[in-house]
Amino acid sequence: PGMALRYPRGFAEARARGEYYEARYRASEGDFKGVRETMRGIADQGRVYRMLYWASLWPWLWRAVHSSKRDGILGTLMLLMPGAARKI
């Protein structure tokens, strides 16, 4: 019962990750307005989420970041930002 109170950071990260996956689903459905709304809610959870929110403003950029080559792009972002790997 008190787990969320004892581990607020972990629960916040888990919620943000769930919202991110919701945004990815919405993007796969072509709902980029929904992607932006979802990402806006978690943009304050870390630099990677903030950058992904900015990417959601341009569907072509969101698609490029999440293409089959995404490991290269997202991996590079994570290497450039210490601690970012915990955010995604």
pLDDT higher than threshold 90 for residue 38? yes
Residue 34: what pLDDT?
A: 97
| Backbone phi, psi, residue 30, to 5° | 85, 10
Residue 3: what pLDDT?
A: 86
Q: What pTM does this model have?
A: 0.74
pLDDT digits (tens, 9 = 90+) for 41-73: 999 998 889 999 999 999 998 888 887 665 556
Residue 5: what pLDDT?
A: 86
pLDDT digits (tens, 9 = 90+) for 9-23: 888 888 999 999 999
What are 88's two structure tokens? 């995604």
